[in-house]
Structure 1
Amino acid sequence: MAQAAPDQQAEDPAKKLKDAQCARKWIAELTLSEKAQQKWLTRARKIVQRYKQDNRADTDQRRFAMLWSNTQTIQPAVYARPPQPVVSRRFGDADPVARAASEILERAIAYSIDCQDLDGRLRQCSLDYVLVARGQTWERYVPTHGPMVTPEIELQVVTSGDGDEDEGESTDDDQPERLYTDENGTTYDPEQVKFREDGSAYAEGEPYEPVVYEESVTDYVNWEDFGHSVARTWDEVDYVWRRVYLNRSQLIERFGEDLGKRIPLDWGVRNAKGDAKTVDDAELSKKAAVYEIWCKSEEKVYWISKSFSEAPLDVRDDPLELDGFFPCPRPLLGTTGNDSTIPVPDFALYQDQAQEIDKLTARIAHLQDALKVRGFYAGDQKNNLNNLLNSDSNMLIPVPDWVSLKEDGGIRGKIDWFPIDLVVSALQALINQRAQLINDVYQITGIADILRGMNDPRATATAEALKGQWGTLRIRDRQLEMMRFARDILRIKGQVIAEKFDPDTLKQMTGVQLPTNADKQQAQLTIQQGAMQYQQAVMQAQATGQPPPPQPEIPDALQQVLRSPSWEDVTALLRNNALRQFRIDIETDSTVEPNEQQEKAQFVEFIGALGQMVQQWGPAVEAQPALAPVAAAVVKAGVRKFRAGRELEDVIDTAIDQIAQSAAQPKPQGPQQPPVDQTKIAVAQIEASTAQMQDQGETQRAQMQAQLKQQELGLKAQETQAKLYALPYDPQPQVAV
């Protein structure tokens, strides 16, 4: 290790003391935070063990898997598919820059979701949410650097000393001094200057590793490895932390060789009680528990090891500069009060009923074992009765003293059977009692029978659909909480992408084609040159007495370049946090299973609304061209209200603009042949497109009606089959075990 300078050595004691105080402070804060949630952690570990049946031995009594069944029923209802980003203009007005920025950001987030397997992370979080009432993720910005690059700084040569000669004789050594400066006016020492083969001068800048790829990574955080400051509500939380486990090589790579070798490896495999222990003394089986702490009040990030109190492992200023500072959203929380953010697992609210169900299940199992043919018989008929009871087929047994057997009442007089009917009655009573307890659990948890895949064969399809809607009211809050959690993740990811990603990365990632400012300037220059050439041609024609040439039309490609926002405009909007929030909104669609019929109905509604607007405003624009701008504004505003209209907005805007321009042009006077009315053509094109879309909508509607009819027939067939199946059996309701 290199020796420090004298000034640094003088500061070392004070700095070491300050670092040690900082480390001990955060170790105390972590201990306090872990103590606050220790009761919940202990309960959660027991619940997870029960869910996985880890704490059950082969000799244990039978149990009813109520926790596993409820978890497997609720989790798919809470989360069923990965979220899809919906980035749009906040107010839906005509804002080309915000529209392009929304499209770029939406594509970038969608790509990040696909390549980072956000679906797997959210499934893990949803399981934690349903099982232990808390789930969390963590966002990281991960740049990938390329090989080291040394930039070349272009230099300009200037001379000094001209006109500054002293009076008197001059010598041959008096030559002007040559200075080398860059574009900012910085002067470089001649020893730093290098020359190329063409004689140009340059200097080498500071070497750096260029960023060749960027990622916004979402990490799943286990429910045991997340915590925060003690607070009543999430708004009062001052710091959050997560715990990661690093081996020796990872410690050296992350914190340097000197510090990485000094950090104790204080974590090992946990036993069934949740206590940390090491399997053996092998170095590879041990890791260090490193806490990553984000403190909002200090706007700093600390890396702490509770076994290393000399100093924090690392301290950095706010690396992501997020709105809420924290790199994680508000966690998924189950039942909580306004006095604490520590949740209560759902199983804790019905564990008494679950334990009673387990006891009844064990008793039912014992009674089922007792359902055997047992009885007492006379000893003098032992051989005859054994032959009779042990026979596998029909047989006759000769009895020597038949007369005495008959006088004693026959077989009935020699055998007294165990009263098995009493066991059956007790068994039926236990089954009914357990069914009542199971129904109580469903009442507590709010799991309707329709969610469990059960239905009444006597109910109609409409009644079952209505019951399904009411049955999901209790679970609707959880679905909304899962949607909120996914939306917050996408917003954090979108902010990281908008503020950290290089424009070149966004171009390659999204594939959006936008011009640069240089492209727009070139297009404007081309149009100006064409206008000047046309003016010269008009002047020439007037000088020669010839009719003026027709004015050339501006190519569509140039018009598109001028209408489109530039990459610089879009990047400036994405980089400006305040403007981005004012003009762009990041949402997500539903994370539950989509309703295909509802999506089709929304698309059909959009087609009908568009066709109605065109049919109403088309004749009005044709009769009164002055109404064209009003019609264009109305149609554009109506299209922006529909999600399906976003993809067609550019095409519709172009068509509406053509209609407005055509209507605004003055009509020719005199006997000249009137030009083709572009307004009618544009209206006809839109009406044709609308008619085609309406035909598609009608086709989809017919398909939907056929599917609904087929489903109704299937439900009626199931109903009939269920009724026929129920005829030979006891009409009393049966409980599935």
Structure 2
Amino acid sequence: MAEAVNPQAQTWQRWKAALDFALKDKKYTEWLQKCEKINKRYRDEREAPSEISRRRMNILWSNVQTLLPAVYAKAPKPIVERRFLDRDEAARLASTVLERTLSMQLEVSGFHDSTKRSALDWLLGGMGQVWVRYEPQFEPQIEAVENQQIAGQEKAEQDFQENGDGSPYDKLAYEKVCIDYVFYRDFLWGSARYWYEVPWVARRSWLTRSEIAEKFYGGGDEGMAKAQQITLDYTPDDTGDKTKLSDEITSFFKKAEIWEIWNKADQTVYFIAPGTPNIILKEEKNPVLQLQDFWPCPRPLYATQTNDTLVPVPDYIEYQDQAAELDDLTGRISALTTALRANGVYDSSIPQLARLLQDGQDNKLVPVDQWAAFAEKGGIPGAISLIPIKEIAEVLLGLYQARAQVKSDLFEVTGMSDIVRGQSDGGAKTATEQRIKGQFASMRLEDRRSEVARFCRDTIAIMAEIISEMFSDESLMQMSGVSQIFEEDVRRAVEEVPPPQEPELPPDMPPEQQQMVMQQAQQQAAQEFQQAQQQAAEQAQQKAMGNFQRAIEILRSDKLRGFRVDIETDSTIAADLEADKQGAVELVRSTFEGLMGAGQIVMQAPELLEPMGQLLMFAYRRFRVGRTVEASLEDALDQMGKRLQQQQGQPPPPSPEEIKAKAEMEKQQAESQRDEQKHQFDMQAKAADMEMDRERNAMELEKMRAELEIDRERLEMEREKLAIQRDGMLLKAQIDAQSASMRAEASEREHMLNRESAEHGHDLNMQTMEAKAQAAQQQARAKPKEKA
């Protein structure tokens, strides 16, 4: 019994064989080996120990560093134009939306870095490539509702879009196009002689198990269990000695080799892991992108090619012999420069001579013993013999001349003249000769620049296709900023609404009633003017949104987009600011001259206004710097035509049907106006009566308020009088209290003085008595002495 056929295993075996056949192709493997050597030479990685001391001239690095900014110095600016530059409002808006969105995406997609790396691969190995991806970012709707509730907004539950199992869809939060750089070893193609014969292209990537589970199996425990079947067969070379590392440590570095294969024949994308047999990670029939040329990548940057194979020849191979000769001559020059020294021998019996050259001092005299014998031997010339260096110097000069000639030959092979490098060999050449030489050098570079510009244009065209078909209307409006254009249209429509006019009142109406009626009429006119402005704004908004929807239809349709929109890019080399300035000046000058000339012609022949306007716009649209004011200029020409028709006379007479319809309309308008005027006068009369009653009531109320105010003032005066009397009584009481206190203090002070006086008198009496007693005692003592 025959075994059951496993379709997945057959598909895996088929593509594993196709990858092995392409990877083992003789020309392809030889090209990879050359690229490896060229990269090492560019990085100046010297393997042999004998080469460490050898001098080299890395002309490869010099050429690449000169060519890279000459062919790609900055990211290009996308230019999206109407294909025939006619007056197509929808196509012009579609071009504006797509161009602005592309400009924004170029900044966030990694375009510049990926393209620059690809250009470096192209200059070194002969091929450079990028890969374009669409990357939407989603936000769970539950979190979105919570964020809105925090912000004070509400969202109904029925607004949720649900999956089949009842769970809500994730909300689209952001969209972008990613430009991935593809290393030349990770890009592969089916056997073909030229690009349009290629049956399939493939890109290799290295993923961990968690990345495999998330990308191919939806993540989670179930996805991780399926990812365990995939063999991790890749470990980076820079993890050191793997024999000394444990399996647990090396597992952090291991990844699986995954090939993403786009097969054009069956319009299917396959993801396989060559190290895991009989398993297709993912098979996507008619992928979501649905690109016009199917490939998610442009035609690569190719160096020298022949018509029998797509494998390129690196530029370095074409001049590797001259580069090797330069290295050889540079090594010889280095060796001879080392040998170009003052070496020799001297008489050992006079050791002082060695100090003349070894000490390295100027203006020094060395003493010599036995000078007479030294002089007899011929002095210094007879005692020192140096190695002849004249011959070495001549050989060295010859090597310099030979190297200069080899460099000249190499520049002729590569086209890297001194003009391209910004050098000059002196003032011998005239300015004309220098310019001619630079022009021929630029002609050889022009092909390279054109190839890089083509590569950028193809990449941007793929980006434009993804943006047109995958991005939502909200994302296109937000990224392009066309809402500002719509706001300007709405503002212009609102400003064009005529202001309200003053109403006409009957002359016999009383002045008070006229004022009231005038105020009411002004209020009503202001309301009608506001309603008219709102209506004009709504109409302008509806018109703008209608144009936007038609523009989106053009972008969504492959045929319409191809027929009505053209995508180009500006230069990828350094910007010429002087050229941009000159273009702007030329635009302004030609526009003013065209308007003045057209105005003079139209004044004499008004029928030439339309062709003259079309001719002016035809020339104006050729200037890219004037695209932002193109619509304004068209509107100005239209208004000029209308004004000219009004000045010339009335429009053609209407038909009888139009006259009848107009009369009926005027009759209905007159009746409605009469009814409306009658209703307005009735309302005005009622309003006047109400206003008089309101004024009468206001006067009575004002009188009552005045009387109340007088009573309040009288009461306030009584209160002030009572307050003054109370303050006087309080002041008198305070004065009496202070007087009594002062009298008491004076009496007490007088009593104290009297007591102090009495005490002082008593003390004086006592002192007098004591003095008298002492004098008596002295007299008594003195009498016996006299007697004796």
TM-score by length of 2: 0.69
SS at match of 1:646: helix
Shift of 1:205: 6.6
Query: In structure 2, how many angstroms separate the alpha carbons of the residues matched to 1:87 and 1:201?
Result: 37
Match of 1:610 among 585, 591, 599: 591
Q: 1:24 aligns to what? A: 13
Q: 1:130 aligns to what? A: 123
1:479 is aligned with what amino acid?
R
Q: 1:194 aligns to what? A: none
Q: 2:452 aligns to what? A: 482
Identity across the alignment (%): 36
Q: 1:29-81: per-residue Cα shift (whole Å, max 9, x none)?
A: 11111123111111101110111123446752221111111111111101011
Match of 2:439 among 441, 465, 469: 469
Shift of 1:279: 7.3
SS at match of 1:644: helix
Shift of 1:514: 8.6
SS at match of 1:665: helix
2:463 is aligned with what amino acid?
K
SS at match of 2:123: helix
Q: 1:252 aligns to what? A: 213
Residues 337-352 of structure 1: pairs in structure 2 closer than 5 A: 337-352=306-321
Q: 2:522 aligns to what? A: none
1:101 and 2:94 are equivalent in the alignment: yes
Q: 2:703 aligns to what? A: none
Q: 1:677-709: per-residue Cα shift (whole Å, max 9, x none)?
A: xxxxxxxxxxxxxxxxxxxxxxxxxxxxxxxxx
Query: In structure 2, how many angstroms separate the alpha carbons of the residues matched to 1:259 and 1:587?
Result: 45
Asked if structure 2 preserves the Cα contact closer than 8 Å seen for 1:335 and 1:346, the reply is: yes
Shift of 1:657: 0.7
Shift of 1:398: 3.9
Shift of 1:450: 1.3
Asked if structure 1 preserves the Cα contact closer than 8 Å seen for 2:119 and 2:128, the reply is: yes
1:252 is aligned with what amino acid?
A
SS at match of 1:146: strand
Query: In structure 2, how many angstroms separate the alpha carbons of the residues matched to 1:435 and 1:76?
Result: 25
Residues 209-224 of structure 1: pairs in structure 2 closer than 5 A: 209-224=170-185
Q: 2:421 aligns to what? A: 452
Residues 425-436 of structure 1: pairs in structure 2 closer than 5 A: 425-436=394-405
2:18 is aligned with what amino acid?
E
1:83 and 2:76 are equivalent in the alignment: yes
Asked if structure 2 preserves the Cα contact closer than 8 Å seen for 1:279 and 1:285, the reply is: no
**Alignment length (residue pairs):** 577
Shift of 1:406: 2.4
* Larger mean Cα displacement after TM superposition, 337-346 or 629-638: 629-638
Q: 2:276 aligns to what? A: 308
Distance 1:360 1:621, change over 3 A: same
* Larger mean Cα displacement after TM superposition, 488-497 or 632-641: 632-641
Distance 1:291 1:279, change over 3 A: farther
Shift of 1:235: 0.5
Distance 1:76 1:271, change over 3 A: same
Distance 1:279 1:449, change over 3 A: farther
Asked if structure 2 preserves the Cα contact closer than 8 Å seen for 1:267 and 1:278, the reply is: no
Asked if structure 2 preserves the Cα contact closer than 8 Å seen for 1:293 and 1:302, the reply is: yes
Q: 1:566-588: per-residue Cα shift (whole Å, max 9, x none)?
A: 32211111111111011001110
Shift of 1:600: 1.8
Q: 1:43 aligns to what? A: 34
1:497 and 2:458 are equivalent in the alignment: no
Q: 1:574-608: per-residue Cα shift (whole Å, max 9, x none)?
A: 11111101100111000011222222222222222
Distance 1:508 1:368, change over 3 A: same
Query: In structure 1, how many angstroms separate the alpha carbons of the residues matched to 2:29 and 2:15?
Result: 18
Shift of 1:209: 2.0
Asked if structure 2 preserves the Cα contact closer than 8 Å seen for 1:41 and 1:224, the reply is: yes
SS at match of 2:68: helix
Distance 1:559 1:657, change over 3 A: farther
Match of 2:379 among 403, 410, 418: 410
Query: In structure 2, how many angstroms separate the alpha carbons of the residues matched to 1:262 and 1:202?
Result: 37
Asked if structure 2 preserves the Cα contact closer than 8 Å seen for 1:360 and 1:430, the reply is: yes
SS at match of 2:625: coil
Asked if structure 1 preserves the Cα contact closer than 8 Å seen for 2:291 and 2:465, the reply is: yes
SS at match of 1:326: coil
1:600 and 2:581 are equivalent in the alignment: yes
Distance 1:666 1:603, change over 3 A: closer
Q: 1:583 aligns to what? A: 564
Shift of 1:210: 2.7
Q: 1:693-731: per-residue Cα shift (whole Å, max 9, x none)?
A: xxxxxxxxxxxxxxxxxxxxxxxxxxxxxxxxxxxxxxx
Distance 1:373 1:616, change over 3 A: same
Residues 176-191 of structure 1: pairs in structure 2 closer than 5 A: none
Query: In structure 2, how many angstroms separate the alpha carbons of the residues matched to 1:82 and 1:202?
Result: 41
Q: 1:235-280: per-residue Cα shift (whole Å, max 9, x none)?
A: 10010001011012111212222331111111122479xxx99976
Query: In structure 2, how many angstroms separate the alpha carbons of the residues matched to 1:201 and 1:407?
Result: 118
Asked if structure 2 preserves the Cα contact closer than 8 Å seen for 1:269 and 1:278, the reply is: no
Aligned Cα RMSD in Å? 3.2
Distance 1:210 1:202, change over 3 A: closer
Match of 2:228 among 245, 248, 261: 261
Asked if structure 2 preserves the Cα contact closer than 8 Å seen for 1:64 and 1:357, the reply is: yes
Match of 1:630 among 611, 614, 621: 611
Shift of 1:626: 2.5
2:279 is aligned with what amino acid?
A
Q: 1:370 aligns to what? A: 339
Distance 1:608 1:280, change over 3 A: farther
Query: In structure 2, how many angstroms separate the alpha carbons of the residues matched to 1:279 and 1:201?
Result: 56
Query: In structure 2, how many angstroms separate the alpha carbons of the residues matched to 1:23 and 1:201?
Result: 44
Q: 2:187 aligns to what? A: 226
Q: Any unmatched runs of 5+ in structure 2? A: 145-155, 218-222, 498-528, 651-788
Asked if structure 2 preserves the Cα contact closer than 8 Å seen for 1:296 and 1:325, the reply is: yes
1:373 is aligned with what amino acid?
A
Shift of 1:226: 0.5
SS at match of 1:482: helix
Distance 1:201 1:396, change over 3 A: closer
1:89 is aligned with what amino acid?
R
Asked if structure 2 preserves the Cα contact closer than 8 Å seen for 1:145 and 1:210, the reply is: yes
Shift of 1:561: 5.1
Shift of 1:559: 7.4
Asked if structure 2 preserves the Cα contact closer than 8 Å seen for 1:271 and 1:277, the reply is: no
Query: In structure 2, how many angstroms separate the alpha carbons of the residues matched to 1:21 and 1:72?
Result: 48
Larger radius of gyration: 2
Shift of 1:503: 0.2
1:53 and 2:44 are equivalent in the alignment: yes
Asked if structure 1 preserves the Cα contact closer than 8 Å seen for 2:93 and 2:547, the reply is: no
Query: In structure 2, how many angstroms separate the alpha carbons of the residues matched to 1:406 and 1:284?
Result: 82
1:51 is aligned with what amino acid?
Y
Q: 1:693 aligns to what? A: none
Q: 2:370 aligns to what? A: 401
Query: In structure 2, how many angstroms separate the alpha carbons of the residues matched to 1:33 and 1:435?
Result: 43
